[in-house]
Chain A
Amino acid sequence: MKTFKIRQDWRGLLASIPKQIILLFFSILAIYPLYYTVVIAFKTRPDWLHNQFGLPNPFTLQNIIGALREGNIPLWFGNSVLVTAGSLVVSTVVSALAAYAIARFRFPGRAFYYNMMIALMVIPPAVLILPLFVLMVNIGLINTLPSVIIIYCGLLIPFSVYLLVSFFRSLPPELFDAAAIDGCNNLDMFWRISLPLSTPAMVTLIVVNALFVWNELLIALVFLQDQNHKTLMPGLELFRGHYTLNEPLIMAGNLIATIPMILLYLFGQRLFVEGLTAGAVK
């Protein structure tokens, strides 16, 4: 009996080898570009020319220091933080209010409004940029951070409303009945029941939306053309243009721009998984 069990374990282990090999292969593929970026960011330029793929020899912080000093990277980093924070605060509050109305009230046009939000999720941003550019020029917001904050908010609303409606609907109705008896009005219920109980959904939503705003290129490129008002993604395009021949410096810039999202991922992997699979998996 005992030998049988051992033999089975051993067999199971043997059977899992092909699976391990396939998974290992794809994991190496997935991690390699990041490994390459990190390694080059800490290489000297002669080292990069002779030893492209290996570990840094000698190890240097010169590129990181250079990227922080020579370009506007710290400024762009700050702009990215402001734009991301601004877009998230406004879009989350606005979407939560709308989602609350859809989830809690019965009113004419409710189904239409909800379906419209779902449909809007598929509109390509490239379609919207020209009219929005003309608009931002006319109201004097072009090359300012509020211009992209407003646009990102608009783009984030459909998905945010969709996600929050499904969450608000799952809250037990008894809570609201009890609150009504205690004399709460609807706005009180929003602040005291819906929002506090939705913290997990809110955090998930904020993490997924932060990823979108931080990494977005097209809108930032079109609306922030002035050097001093760029965010990181269009800023790095400019930076790459300036230092075409200094690859380690470019990689250092890329690495600096990536670190916040990697940290967010390391601490909140679960949140990404939940946010991205929400709605699709039931």
Chain B
Amino acid sequence: MIGWLRQHVRALRLALRRFAAGGTLSALVIGVALALPTGGYALLESLRGLATRASFDPQISIFLKGEVKRAEALALERPLRADRRVAKIRFIPREEALKELNAVQGLAEVTAALGQNPLPDTYVVTARGEDLDPLVADLARMPGVAHVQSDSVWARRLAAIASAGRLALWLLASVLGIGLVSVTFNTIRLQILTHRTEIEVSKLIGATDAFIRRPFYYLGLLQGMAGGAIAIAIVWISLALLNREVAVLAESFGSGYRLTFPGLPDAIIAIALAGLLGWLGAHLSVSKHLRQIE
């Protein structure tokens, strides 16, 4: 048992030494390549957070036609309140909407130039339940309604973009995963060539195959894990920089929204996965190339 452990410690130290001598550049290549899907994943998770938050409180805006009189507009309140699918309603008269618009810096001059108020009277309806489509259709048929816009459409579009993005990311991650395996395969191949004499001599004087393979497996594992760690670092730094800009943008919408960093479990999974792929590359390389040395 102690002997076995000693063998592994020896192999690991050897692998560390070889990694320090020439594996760091490969790890950097792997890291940059993996940063792409990892960063994409982080962005998508942020986007999904945005999508779910939006649909959490489904709102429908009902824009009335410009020629609708105030009394007619207010008359719509009763049937709206009577609808069981509607939780809350708020009427925004066109004057108030204009006032809100004017409050936004710089827009007052624009609206003043128009001469008249271009905005319609609006109802903002908060719906009960998830399925908004029938309600939206019914609302659109009410008299005097010009246009009904459901936030959930945006939420759904966002979710659709996110899921398409996720699929694209998986494809990207698969391709780059294969890339990682090949980079490791090649690194290990070069290592085997470099240490050919040592391997030959070791075999002649009684080294087992496992003994000879072990340092290469560790090297593949280390290189993969280092690549994964570099990818995570790149993503964190990029997100931190992006978040400064996002914060400014979000605050202009009165939102505290930020891009979310991949959590510690995600980081550990990414590093472990990269290590596993490195190990796989080493395995393929060692199986192919060590057999040629007898």
Do A and B pair up? The answer is no
Report A's interface with B, CB cutoff 8 A.
Answer: none
